[in-house]
Amino acid sequence: MGRHIGIFVGSAGSNSGGPERYETELLRAMLAEDMNSDFEIFCLFHGGPAKIGVIAPNVRYRAIWPAVRPVSMLTTLPVALWRSRPAVLHATFIPPPITPCSYAFTLVCSSMFEHPHFYPPAIRLRLQVLMGLAVRKAKLILCVSRHVQDVIRERFRVSEDRSVVVPLAASSAFRPMPKAECATFVRERYGIAEPYFLFSGRWERRKNIASILEAFHRFKQETRAPHKLVLTGERTWAATEAAEVIRRNRMQDEIVDVGRSLVDELPMLYAGAEALVYCSLWEGFGMVIVEAMSTGTPVITSNSSSMPEIVGDAGLLVNPLSVDEIADAMHRVASNESLRQQMRERGLLRAHDFSWQSTARQTLAAYERIRA
């Protein structure tokens, strides 16, 4: 192809979970797929190049300075892009406020437009300004789901030729593993000897952790099952409400908060779970759903936004606002081995529809569409 491709990555090196995994996995897959083009990768975080970890003759990294990101995005980034003048520019998470060339932009969520109340005022304003700028200015918008595409078409009147659906995937590390091996790992690493449900994600309001906790409490009261609820992910501004639910229901002995797990440990934690409980209020994609299905772990998730689109017929869909429905789904999975096996088989089959190789090919095709 021989193209000069510029990619502005806004999360790689930040240890930010899903957004960072998207950027690193996409870049590794694209660089393996296209060894003829020249890639110039502009990293907002100085740890980005090491995190991406690809060293090749056709790859150059540019760490944007200074470390004060608003300053660097308004000064050194536009200068670097002006000097580089790539044939195609792709902003994977944050749009460049000023750029001398047109660009593609990946929109990973629409909640800042549809449900701004999920965010504190300062974060809400920043997200709405930046994402609104990208939707208006990008030559092509890569939407991670049909749901996100539908939202921007309706809300911003984005024409069909300015958006394309390019779904995400799970790392190859997420795969089926022997249950005995997983049980040994979680017992020795986290001290968990009981069967457990898993929630994976940042403690944000839209992740609906308080309702999941209330549902788990109801499940325990009604069944007296030995299960634990394991929470992995970073606590944020929204953790107070969830912590209050745990305190009020005296659930401290039933909840295992492992914090931000190492990425290398997550596949074992997923594969050892009885089910992933991911009843978010709003998701642009829901990468953790694909990660769970890839390990053969049953999925309980929401019947709203993009989640039915991602899980297909492989999971149990519930109203995320109904504590009763979430608790009932937990009971169904915990008490029915045949159902768990059926969900495992369907999940593994559904997970095959998502791969980073496919995402990379579709992204490269989008670049060609922009250039044409």
One digit per residue, the tens of pLDDT, for the chain of length 372 reads 468 999 999 999 988 888 899 999 999 999 999 999 999 999 999 999 999 999 999 999 999 999 888 899 999 999 999 999 999 999 999 999 999 888 999 999 999 999 999 998 998 999 999 999 999 999 999 999 999 999 999 999 999 899 999 999 999 999 999 989 999 999 999 999 999 999 999 999 999 999 999 999 999 999 999 999 999 998 887 789 999 999 999 999 999 999 988 888 999 999 999 999 999 999 999 999 999 999 999 999 999 999 999 999 999 999 999 999 999 999 999 999 999 999 999 999 999 999 999 999 999 999 999 887
230 has which bridge partners?
198, 256
What is residue 2's predicted lDDT score, i.e. its pLDDT?
Answer: 66
**Residue 174 included in any domain:** no
Within this chain, do residues 296 and 202 fall inside the same structural domain, yes or no?
Answer: yes
Query: Exposure string (b/e) for 2-31, b if CB count within 10 Å is 16 or more?
Result: ebebbbbbbbbbbebbbbbbbbbbbbbbbb
Where do runs of H (alpha helix) occur along the chain?
18-33, 48-52, 69-74, 76-84, 111-114, 121-137, 146-156, 179-190, 209-223, 239-248, 266-271, 287-295, 307-311, 323-335, 337-351, 356-371
Within this chain, do residues 330 and 209 fall inside the same structural domain, yes or no?
Answer: yes
**Residue 260 included in any domain:** yes
Question: 357: helix, coil or strand?
Answer: helix
Task: Retrieve residue 152's tokens.
Answer: 């921007």
Range of the domain at 318: 179-351
Within this chain, do residues 136 and 123 fall inside the same structural domain, yes or no?
Answer: yes
Within this chain, do residues 41 and 134 fall inside the same structural domain, yes or no?
Answer: yes
What is residue 54's predicted lDDT score, i.e. its pLDDT?
Answer: 96
CA distances from 6 to 29, 66, 114 (A): 16, 20, 31
Within this chain, do residues 219 and 147 fall inside the same structural domain, yes or no?
Answer: no
8 A C-beta contact, residue 7 and residue 87: no
> Distance between CA 18 and CA 278 in Å, rounded?
14
Within this chain, do residues 157 and 205 fall inside the same structural domain, yes or no?
Answer: no
Number of domains in the chain: 2
What is residue 1's predicted lDDT score, i.e. its pLDDT?
Answer: 47
Within this chain, do residues 217 and 361 fall inside the same structural domain, yes or no?
Answer: no
Within this chain, do residues 280 and 361 fall inside the same structural domain, yes or no?
Answer: no
Q: Could you say which DSSP state residue 59 is in?
A: E
Within this chain, do residues 318 and 202 fall inside the same structural domain, yes or no?
Answer: yes
**Residue 256 included in any domain:** yes
Give the CATH number, domain containing residue 205. Answer: 3.40.50.2000
Within this chain, do residues 152 and 249 fall inside the same structural domain, yes or no?
Answer: no
